[in-house]
Structure 1
Amino acid sequence: MRHFSIVILLLCLVTGCQQQKDTTPPWATNSSEDLQQFDLSDIEQTGELIAVTMYGPDTYYDYHGHHLGAHYLLCEQLAKHLGVQLRMEVCRDSAEMVARLEADEADIAVYPFNNDSILFGWKVGDNKPELISELKQWSQPDMLDNMKAYEHRLLTQSRVRHRVYAPMMSKGAISRYDQLFKRHSRTCNWDWRLLAAQCYQESTFDSNAQSWAGAKGLMQIMPGTAEHLGLPKDQIFNPEQNIAAATRLLRELEHHLSDVRDRNERQNLVLAAYNGGMNHVRDAMRLAERDKRNPHSWNDVRPYILKLSQREYYQDTLVHYGYMRGQETAEYVDKIRKRYQIYRRSIR
């Protein structure tokens, strides 16, 4: 046993004198060659520009499933100019954005910083001289103002291109689609007249209606939503298929709001979610609850839907999805409810 131990010791001494093989993986090395900056040529090679920003009316927000904000739209143009895809990530504050840049986790901070910026108030990491040079050559003094004007035209023009039909086609009928409303309203267990009132608000009963954001048909369903609901692209303008898909969505939204026990209040909040997005509605509900209002009451949540367009509210820590053009959503619900009352009194 002792002789065996001596042999092992001698073997260890011999191997210790030999050059040991480096088992460090190549990606873990600290050599200066591997600490090269990730600049424009690398962005073009990976095919992705990573930008960080904050929610806001001028920076980035969701509008009917469509991303808007003049700075975001301008960043899209930059990505197109570079021939890459844009990945936009939202930060809580400007300090987080700067930290992401310094850690090289983002290529550009798309936000109107006041000082020490490259252009439009944007920041780029100091280790990206190629990208900085490209930005300076690409930018024009009036680009941001032109993008703001473009966005304003989008938001102030008629949201939906459609033909306007009379609210009441004849005595005892609301529209040519009444039978479809009656049949498919069972899916979500709604009064078919409420479904008809919503359809009028969406498209004025024009089955070929289409919004600039891409929503289509009687119930203005976005292509991504249609795919989620199993509505084929070639059937999105089909009146029955469009209405049927919309009622499946309403049923799904009702499920997400199942904590709201009162049916009338739940329907109001579902309508708000259909128009403005469930995430924004939940943000407003959290704010209402914080202020000791009833988060399950439309009258108590509605003011916070409106307040989500104010910085002090959309940047609140309780708000997870930022800025919202809440006036449109509030009016959407109110108009549908008003029209529904008319239909209830007039149509049996």
Structure 2
Amino acid sequence: MIQMLTPDGERISSGEYDAFAAELDDEDLRGFYKDMVLVRRVDAEGNALQRQGQLGLWAPLLGQEAAQIGMGRALRPQDFVFPTYREHGVAWCRGVAPETLLGLFRGQNHGGWDPQEHNFHTYTIVIGSQTLHATGYAMGVGLDGEVGTGDPARDTATVACFGDGATSQGDVSEALTFAGAFNAPVLFFCQNNQWAISEPTSVQTRVPLFMRGQGFGVPGVRVDGNDIIAMYAVARASLDSVRAGHGPMLIEAFTYRMGAHTTADDPTKYRDAATTEAWAAKDPITRLRAHLESLGTPEEFFVEVDAEADALAARIRENCISMAEPDPAEIFAYAYREPHSLVEEERAEYLDYLASFEDSTEGAR
């Protein structure tokens, strides 16, 4: 497993990936720290708002901040990401506002954002299906000649995000099959948080997940998913290889889900608290902070980041609670790219149906 920052915050060598880590200066590392703290605060607010009845559901990412920020910051603008429903950190890096994520879980918007604006697809709830979408998109990128040109502003990689549980779905195996057979420029990004809801990885597979792609012609690498430096370096190297036309790759970010699978889940029913406590000592934010302190980062920096996190939390809470009710007609607006007669007919029928309630109210008066 590739590791470049120990749980105590000590910088160590990883060999082949050191050159990519060398690109990072102290300012970059402080930026990573800030990203992780702010995303963790977004996550905390999402949990709190759901418990207070402001969201229908929330999928926490607690403990997976380094994996997501490391991948997100390694991307180029033209790369395209296909997320699950937990990629709040990658969404942050792609410029999707936290309020937009909250609006999705609040039921205030349909899909949430324009995928083309952010090169970040809408969240996918059906487990594993986004890996097929990502592979198909990547095959299109290859057919369009947008890979292996040597132009860093043109060569494109596609990223398929999924969890360890999704590897038990046939969709992932099918995606690996097509990716390998067609040499698709797709990076399979598996965040192994070790729990597929209540099932541990040990009952899903007999081999490490990064090895699952080998039989499909997709080489893999396992990286410490709580190590932001290693995560960035491995993602940078892998994305460069994919963009250069060397074919698909798989990254297994070995991490741990510190909280619940979603707010509808109670992890105390199926896992040992002692193991969770042991993983708390490997926390990605604490680890990077220790390293930054060893580099001489002043305390004022950490105080400022915490203050910014407080301000962000207040902003998203206010914006979430004050969201206006969506226009019911919006649900029909994005079914097809071009106008569609059947959709227009259904839209008119539905709006007439809603209007009938208003007529009944007026008659009662």
Shorter-chain TM-score range: under 0.3
Q: Report the TM-score when normalising by structure 1.
A: 0.27
Q: Report the TM-score when normalising by structure 2.
A: 0.26
